[in-house]
C-alpha cells in the first residue's frame, strides 16, 4: 500500500501500474511497478452535506466514459464500490465471490473501491478512507471521496453496493433502507421508535437512497430478490427496464450434505452439544435484525432434546445469553461468535432457522439449503422466494414466535426433515457462481456496448 498526503490526488490504477493524467501531477506518468492497493485521500472539492448537487452530477456525466467500448480495444475497467469488509458479512462475501467469478472471465479489469479489503489476486484495491467522526460523516465522506475518483473518468463502469448518486449500476444487496425502518418499527418500543425518528443517520440514508434512485446516471439496478425489486418500484417508481434480478451463487460442492459426516460429531463435541440432540442452526451477524430473540423464545417451547446453535457476531451477544438464562434454556443455546469457517456448523446442524425482520437475500440461506438443511425463515427474507411451504421449508412472520415454534416442531420428524432437506438442496443447485457471473458479464456487456 502506498500513502499520499491529503493535498495530493490519487493516481489511476490501470493494468497493475500507476498512471495519471492530472493537473496536480503536471502530465501523464507511468510507473512500471506492480500495484495492488493505493490509498486515496485529499482535499476534496466542496460538496454539500446532503449529497451531490445537479451541477456535480453534470460534471460526472461530462467526465464519464460513456461511449461504447469495442471488443478489440482495451479491456473495460470496472469499479466495484463497497465501503468496508467484514469477513462474517453476507454482502461482503457476495462481493468477494463475485470478484473471483468475474476475474475468471478474463474480460474485465476490476478495481474494488473501499475503505479496507482483503487482498485478492488479480483485483486492484483503491482505498478511499477519509477521516470521520460518527456514522453520518463516515458514509458521507466515503461517498464524496468515491464520487471524486469517479469524476476523474478512469472507470468505464461503476457498480456500487453503497448508496451513491455517481454510480452506473447499483446492487441493492442491503435492500431498501426505508423498508428496513418500517420493519424495525414493528419490533421497537416507543423509545426505540422515537430514537429512530430522531437519528440523523436514518435521515441521511433515506435521502441518499432517494437521490441515487432518481439519478439520471443510474443505468441498472441489480436486485438479489424479487422482494427488493418490488420495494424499489413501490417507493421510487423506477422504470422496469432498469431492473435485473440476479440471485447470488453458492458453492454446492463446498456446502453439501457431506459436511455432516466430516464435522457433525467433532463440532458437537467441541461445543458441548449432545450427539443425539436436534440442532437448529442460526447463522448471521446482527442478532436484533435477524431474529435471535425469536429463535430462543421458540426453542423454549420445544422439548429438551432441541438445541439452538447461534453462529454470528454481535456486540450485544451477552444480552441474548442472558435472555436464554431467563427462559431456562441456557444449556440448550450455544453461542459461538463469528466463525471464519462456517462449514462445520452446517455439518453439525439438522435445521436452519432465520426469522429475520428484514434481509434482502441472506447468503447463509443458500449455503444451508445446499447442505441439505430444511429452512425456516420469514416473509421479509428474500430467501422466502425459494421456499415451497412444507416441501423444502417453512415461512412465517418474523415476530410470530408461536408460528416459528410450530414450524420448528414439524421438523422434529426425521423423515420429514430428510425429505425437505433433499428438496432444499435441489432448489439451489442451479444457483452457481458461474451462472451469476455469466449474468453479470452479460449486463456489463450490454451497458458497455460490447457485442456478445
Q: What is the CATH number of the domain that holds 88?
A: 3.40.50.2000
Is position 1 within any domain? no
Is position 66 within any domain? yes
Same-domain status, 115 and 211: yes
Q: Count structural domains, the chain.
A: 2
Q: Which residues pair with 335 in a beta bridge?
A: 310
- Separation CA 306–CA 30 (nearest Å): 63
Same-domain status, 194 and 76: yes
Cell 452530477: give the residue: 57
Same-domain status, 331 and 347: yes
Is position 175 within any domain? yes
Is position 4 within any domain? no
Is position 2 within any domain? no
CA dihedral (229, 230, 234, 238) in degrees, to 10, reads 40
Is position 6 within any domain? no
Which grid coordinates are listed for 192? 426505540
- Separation CA 64–CA 78 (nearest Å): 12
Which grid coordinates are listed for 322? 442472558
Pairing assessment for the beta strands 17-20 and 12-14 based on DSSP bridges: antiparallel
The residue segments making up the domain with residue 300 are: 258-428
Same-domain status, 199 and 303: no
Same-domain status, 170 and 278: no
Residues 6 or more apart whose CB falls under 8 angstroms from that of 238 comprise: 213, 221, 232
pTM of the model: 0.79
Same-domain status, 276 and 423: yes
- Separation CA 322–CA 144 (nearest Å): 42
Same-domain status, 275 and 291: yes
Same-domain status, 28 and 60: yes
- Separation CA 360–CA 247 (nearest Å): 11
Same-domain status, 363 and 440: no
Question: Which pLDDT tens digits describe the chain residue by residue (452 residues)?
Answer: 333 323 233 333 333 333 333 333 233 333 333 333 444 444 444 444 444 444 544 444 444 444 444 444 567 888 889 888 655 555 666 666 666 656 665 667 788 899 887 766 667 888 999 999 999 999 999 999 999 999 988 899 999 999 999 999 999 989 999 999 999 999 999 999 999 999 999 999 999 999 999 999 999 999 999 999 999 999 999 999 999 999 999 999 999 999 999 999 999 999 999 999 999 999 998 999 999 999 999 999 999 999 999 999 999 999 999 999 999 999 999 999 999 899 999 999 999 999 999 999 999 999 999 999 999 999 999 999 999 999 999 999 999 999 999 999 999 999 999 999 999 999 999 999 888 888 888 888 888 887 65
Same-domain status, 167 and 284: no
Same-domain status, 369 and 401: yes
- Separation CA 60–CA 158 (nearest Å): 12
Burial of 72 (0-12, 13-18, 19+ CB in 10 A): exposed
Is position 3 within any domain? no
Same-domain status, 234 and 114: yes
Amino acid at each position: 500500500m502506498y500513502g499520499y498526503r491529503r493535498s495530493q490526488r490519487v493516481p489511476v490504477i490501470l493494468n497493475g501500474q500507476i498512471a495519471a493524467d492530472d493537473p496536480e501531477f503536471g502530465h501523464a506518468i507511468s510507473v512500471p511497478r506492480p500495484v495492488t492497493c493505493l490509498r486515496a485521500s485529499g482535499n476534496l472539492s466542496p460538496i454539500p452535506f446532503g449529497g451531490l448537487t445537479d451541477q456535480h452530477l453534470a460534471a460526472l456525466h461530462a467526465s464519464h466514459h460513456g461511449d461504447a467500448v469495442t471488443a478489440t480495444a482495451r479491456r473495460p475497467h470496472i469499479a466495484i464500490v463497497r465501503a468496508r469488509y467484514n469477513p462474517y458479512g453476507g454482502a461482503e462475501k457476495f462481493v468477494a465471490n463475485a470478484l473471483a467469478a468475474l476475474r475468471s472471465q478474463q474480460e474485465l479489469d476490476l478495481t474494488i473501491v473501499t475503505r479496507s479489503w482483503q487482498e485478492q489476486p488479480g483485483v486492484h484495491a483503491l482505498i478511499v478512507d477519509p477521516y470521520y467522526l460518527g456514522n453520518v460523516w463516515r458514509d458521507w465522506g466515503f461517498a464524496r471521496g468515491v464520487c471524486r475518483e469517479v469524476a476523474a473518468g478512469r472507470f468505464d463502469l461503476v457498480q456500487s453496493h453503497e448508496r451513491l448518486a455517481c454510480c452506473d449500476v447499483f446492487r441493492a444487496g442491503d435492500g431498501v433502507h426505508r423498508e428496513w425502518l418500517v420493519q424495525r418499527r414493528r419490533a421497537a418500543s416507543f423509545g426505540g421508535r422515537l430514537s429512530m425518528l430522531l437519528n440523523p443517520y436514518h435521515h441521511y440514508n433515506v435521502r441518499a437512497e432517494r437521490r441515487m434512485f432518481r439519478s439520471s446516471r443510474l443505468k441498472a439496478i441489480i436486485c438479489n430478490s424479487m422482494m427488493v425489486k418490488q420495494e424499489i418500484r413501490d417507493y421510487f417508481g423506477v422504470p422496469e427496464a432498469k431492473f435485473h434480478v440476479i440471485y447470488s451463487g453458492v458453492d454446492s460442492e463446498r456446502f453439501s450434505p457431506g459436511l455432516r459426516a466430516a464435522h457433525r460429531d467433532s463440532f458437537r463435541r467441541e461445543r458441548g452439544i449432545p450427539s443425539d440432540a436436534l440442532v437448529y442452526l442460526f447463522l448471521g451477524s446482527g442478532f436484533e435484525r435477524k431474529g435471535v430473540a425469536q429463535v430462543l423464545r421458540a426453542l423454549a417451547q420445544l422439548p429438551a432434546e432441541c438445541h439452538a446453535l447461534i453462529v454470528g457476531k454481535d456486540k450485544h451477544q451477552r444480552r441474548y445469553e442472558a435472555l436464554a438464562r431467563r427462559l431456562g434454556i441456557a444449556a440448550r443455546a450455544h453461542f459461538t461468535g463469528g466463525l471464519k469457517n462456517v462449514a462445520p456448523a452446517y455439518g453439525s446442524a439438522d435445521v436452519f432457522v432465520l426469522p429475520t425482520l428484514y434481509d434482502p437475500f441472506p447468503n447463509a440461506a443458500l449455503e444451508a439449503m445446499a447442505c441439505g438443511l430444511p429452512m425456516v425463515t420469514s416473509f421479509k427474507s428474500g430467501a422466502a422466494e425459494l421456499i415451497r411451504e412444507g416441501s423444502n421449508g417453512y415461512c412465517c412472520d418474523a415476530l410470530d414466535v408461536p408460528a416459528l415454534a410450530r414450524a420448528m416442531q414439524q421438523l422434529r420428524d426425521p423423515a420429514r426433515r430428510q425429505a425437505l432437506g433433499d428438496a432444499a438442496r435441489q432448489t439451489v443447485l442451479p444457483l452457481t457462481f458461474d451462472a451469476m457471473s455469466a449474468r453479470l458479464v452479460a449486463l456489463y456487456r450490454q451497458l458497455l456496448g460490447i457485442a456478445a
